[in-house]
Amino acid sequence: MTKVAVADFIKQVRQEASKVTWATRKDTIVSTIVVLVMVLVASVFFLLVDAVIFKIVQAILGF
């Protein structure tokens, strides 16, 4: 394993960091909205599934 000087390491880190492509503000906002909508859809779905299972268990146990 070769040893790298601290200065060379920092130089390499800066070179790699310059290659990073960041998402635009628009992309970030759209992605956030999509995530929030999907969370809402999943929440409603699981609420309905839970209500149906609750009614089925209630009918079986005779409460």
- Tens digit of each residue's pLDDT (9 = 90 or more) over 9-43: 999 999 999 999 989 999 999 999 999 999 999 99
Residue 1: pLDDT band (50, 70, 90) is low
Whether the CB-CB separation of 12 and 4 falls below 8 Å is answered with yes
Q: With 0.75 as the threshold, say if the pTM is over it.
A: no
Tokens of 26: 């628009």
Task: Return the higher-pLDDT residue of 49 and 62.
Answer: 49
Residue 32: per-residue pLDDT: 98
Residue 61: per-residue pLDDT: 93
Whether the CB-CB separation of 28 and 21 falls below 8 Å is answered with no
Tell me which H or E stretch contains 54: helix 25-61
CA trace torsion 19, 24, 30, 32 (10° rounding)? 70
Residue 63: per-residue pLDDT: 73
